[in-house]
């Protein structure tokens, strides 16, 4: 068997030698291309640049399509300029546009640039910038080793697509017209047994059996169009939970990184989401990860002020003490307590309305809209609130303390005084609906209004912080630029239907009057799913029993509304013998422990199974509290892909 295999390889090598004989190629080029031709037996389809060995510096000498993806090959005696290597990649990526398989439209993540040097090359090797440099003696590194990205039928389809898109690339040792199209198991040509919708579901179901890597390689047509589209100014991506907004944004960052110079920024209001996004991006485009800055907005502002010599660190304990000192002054807070007794309500009024909007005068506060804050505040009561706010500011000043809004406002003021010396090539803001208005103004000041420089990603139904605003209040005009995603790829249909029953009112006018899509109008791709409604008195025993009934408890989360409840369930599960990990310290990597954390920390995540224990309600029936509770429930329920367990304690 081994002898037959080597005999066939030698025959293929000789046939390739004969096919390439008329090409005036250097001898080491001949050896490399013959090796590529031999690898056809291993599922590789090589295409040679017609101009070789006089290939333009910014074009590939060859392109290979195989199980490990698409290799953009530059055969070079010396290290090429990074601009040429990038241009060769982008040229090939543009040819890939429109390639489609059963799993969806092919993305650039399937391709990588490889520079091959002669065997005696003594220069730099390994990953260099955005390409991999190897010698001809190391070809196994890219042809035999590494992650398998494509199935045989997908390889053939992509190779045929490239061969049909340009006369510059010609197949070596294979004829795209003679190779029969491979079919999936159980399918015959022209059988008519499968509806298009069933085929879409079938291929997504198959893809979900494989890890996240498949979502690096395949998007649907609408998503891929948004990745590649050129926007003349700020743009947005919106859509219900599970429609792939963040994945699309990461693909767009990679797309723009390959076509620009300088740093790009991914930011959000949430502390742990940048860690998760960075891990996903590392899986998507590892050679580009150094180009992207992943950080939450408060950390960006703090670091920026440090660099400018205007340090403004937040001492949470000092901030809480300052607020509490004012809250305990009965003569000052009596009118506020009479209207609404909740301490957190008035803390939010300062954080999300007064300081969150950058209001600096009582006259402005008297007339400002308070979207999503419940009952209107009479003008005379707003004067009392303003006095309360001024006393809070005095307490902060006496302590030499800053709160988070102070940091954002100082950063915005510093940017107005002296803009960034070098602008980011692009800025992506995820979960934009949870920013304050001052935060939105800050990201706008960071990005500017240039083409492709600012992308806002969000969904008003998933807003977990109070308040609301319009983009126009931050000076941002979309003018129709952006996408509304409708297909839900995360949650099975039973979970989408169950979560869609919640009346999660959108208080975030992200489109300034444009269309929005509620979760109940989303189009779930995945069928099935399991929703369990439990009601009783001993939910600890019930939840533990339900966890033990799972076939596999990896990729499982227990989500709560409050930090105190999360700490309680962390302790309960550990005492029951489960391995537990807090969402506060999770970066998105696959792991065995059961994750426990608040709904706030679960933003941007998904799990096979989600458990939602009941908590004593904190609502007193106020409209804004009820609306916020429904939005929290929607976020929590849509973290589950296959299995959702919801508890209700008997009262």
| Tokens, residue 609 | 């199974």
Residues near 520 by beta carbon (within 8 Å), at least 6 away in sequence: 500, 501
Burial 526-535 (b: 16+ CB within 10 A, else e): beebebeebe
What number of helices (H) and strands (E) belong to the chain? 23, 24
Q: How many CB atoms lie within 10 A of CB 280?
A: 20
What span, in angstroms and rounded, lies between the C-alpha atoms of 499 and 491?
10
* Residue 245 labelled as part of a binding site: yes
Residue showing tokens 């949870």? 434
For residue 615, how many C-alpha atoms fall within 13 Å in the half-sphere facing its CB?
22
First to last CA, the chain: 73
Cα(351)–Cα(185) distance, rounded to whole angstroms? 58
Q: Does an H or E element contain 381, and which?
A: helix 379-399
Does 123 belong to an annotated binding site?
Answer: no
Helices (H), 550-622: 563-575, 599-602
Residue 246 labeled ligand binder: yes
Handedness of CA 49, 55, 58, 64 (dihedral sign): positive
Which residues lie below 8 Å from residue 345, measured CB to CB, with a gap of 6+? none
Q: Is 52 annotated as a binding residue?
A: no
CA dihedral 387, 389, 390, 394 (to 10 degrees): 140
Token couple for 162: 């490239």
243 is in an annotated binding site: yes
Structure tokens at 208: 């979900």
Residue 387: how many other CB atoms lie within 10 Å = 15
- Token couple for 560: 């709560």
Query: Which residue has 């444009």 as its token pair?
Result: 514
* 244 has binding-site annotation: yes
- The answer to the question of whether 562 is labelled as a binding residue is no
528 is in an annotated binding site: no
Tell me the helix, strand and coil percentages in the chain, rounded to 5. 45, 20, 35
Environment class of 24 (CB within 10 Å of its CB; exposed 0-12, middle 13-18, buried 19+): exposed
Q: Rg of the Cα trace of the chain?
A: 28
Secondary structure letter of residue 350 according to DSSP: I
DSSP lists the bridge partners of residue 294 as 266
The DSSP line for 297-342 is HHHHHHHHHHHTT----B-HHHHHHHHHHHHT-HHHHHHHHHH---
Binding positions: 239-246
Binding positions for ATP: 239-246
């Amino acid at each position: 068997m081994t002898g037959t295999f080597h005999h066939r390889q030698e025959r293929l090598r000789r046939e390739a030698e004969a096919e390439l004989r008329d090409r005036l190629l250097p001898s080491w080029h001949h050896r490399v291309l013959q090796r590529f031709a031999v690898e056809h037996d291993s599922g590789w389809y090589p295409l040679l640049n017609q101009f070789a060995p006089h290939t333009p510096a910014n074009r590939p000498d060859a392109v290979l399509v195989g199980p490990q993806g698409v290799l953009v090959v530059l055969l070079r005696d010396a290290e090429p300029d990074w601009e040429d290597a990038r241009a060769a990649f982008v040229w090939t990526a543009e040819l890939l546009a429109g390639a489609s398989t059963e799993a969806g439209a092919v993305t650039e993540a399937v391709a990588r640039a490889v520079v091959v040097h002669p065997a005696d090359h003594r220069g730099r090797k390994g990953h260099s910038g955005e390409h991999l440099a190897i010698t001809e003696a190391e070809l196994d590194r890219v042809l035999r080793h590494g992650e398998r990205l494509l199935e045989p039928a997908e390889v053939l389809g992509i190779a045929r697509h490239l061969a049909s898109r340009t006369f510059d690339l010609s197949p070596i040792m294979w004829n795209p017209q003679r190779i029969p199209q491979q079919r999936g198991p159980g399918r015959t040509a022209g059988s008519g047994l499968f509806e298009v919708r069933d085929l879409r579901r079938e291929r997504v179901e198959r893809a979900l059996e494989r890890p996240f890597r498949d979502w690096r390689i395949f998007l649907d047509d609408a998503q891929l169009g948004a990745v590649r589209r050129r926007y003349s100014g700020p743009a947005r991506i919106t859509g219900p939970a599970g429609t792939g907004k963040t994945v699309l944004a990461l693909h767009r960052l990679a797309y723009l990184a390959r076509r620009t110079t300088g740093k790009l920024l991914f930011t959000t209001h949430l502390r742990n989401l940048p860690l998760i996004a960075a891990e996903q991006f590392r899986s998507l485009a590892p050679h580009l990860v150094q180009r992207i800055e992943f950080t939450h907005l408060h950390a960006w502002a703090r670091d920026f002020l440090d660099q400018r010599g205007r340090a403004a660190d937040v001492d949470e304990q000092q901030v809480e003490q300052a607020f509490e000192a004012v809250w305990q002054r009965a003569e000052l807070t009596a009118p506020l307590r009479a209207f609404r007794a909740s301490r957190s309500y008035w803390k939010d009024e300062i954080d999300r309305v007064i300081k969150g909007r950058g209001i600096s005068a009582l006259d402005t506060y008297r007339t400002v809209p308070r979207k999503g804050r419940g009952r209107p505040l009479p003008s005379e009561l707003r004067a009392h609130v303003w006095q309360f706010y001024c006393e809070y500011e005095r307490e902060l000043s006496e302590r030499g303390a800053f709160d988070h809004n102070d940091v954002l406002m100082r950063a915005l003021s510093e940017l107005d005084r002296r803009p960034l010396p070098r602008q980011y090539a692009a800025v992506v803001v995820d979960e934009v609906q949870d920013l304050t208005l001052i935060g939105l103004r800050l990201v706008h000041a960071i990005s500017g209004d240039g083409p492709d420089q600012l992308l806002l990603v969000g969904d008003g139904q998933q807003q977990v912080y109070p308040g609301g605003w319009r983009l126009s209040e931050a000076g941002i005009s979309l003018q129709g630029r952006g996408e509304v995603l409708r297909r839900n790829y995360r949650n099975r249909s039973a979970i989408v239907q169950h979560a869609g029953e919640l009346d999660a009112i959108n208080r975030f006018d992200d489109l300034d009057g444009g269309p929005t899509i509620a979760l109940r109008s989303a189009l779930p791709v995945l069928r099935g799913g399991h929703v369990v409604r439990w009601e009783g008195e001993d939910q600890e025993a019930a939840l533990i029993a339900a966890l033990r009934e799972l076939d596999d408890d990896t990729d499982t989360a227990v989500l709560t509304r409050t930090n105190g409840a999360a700490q309680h369930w962390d302790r309960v599960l550990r005492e029951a013998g489960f391995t537990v990990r807090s969402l506060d310290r999770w970066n998105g990597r696959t792991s065995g422990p059961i994750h426990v954390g608040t709904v706030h920390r679960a933003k941007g995540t998904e799990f096979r199974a989600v458990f939602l224990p009941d908590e004593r309600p904190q609502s007193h029936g106020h409209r804004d509290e009820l609306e916020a509770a429904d939005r929290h429930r929607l976020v929590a329920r849509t973290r589950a892909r296959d299995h959702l367990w919801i508890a209700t304690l008997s009262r």
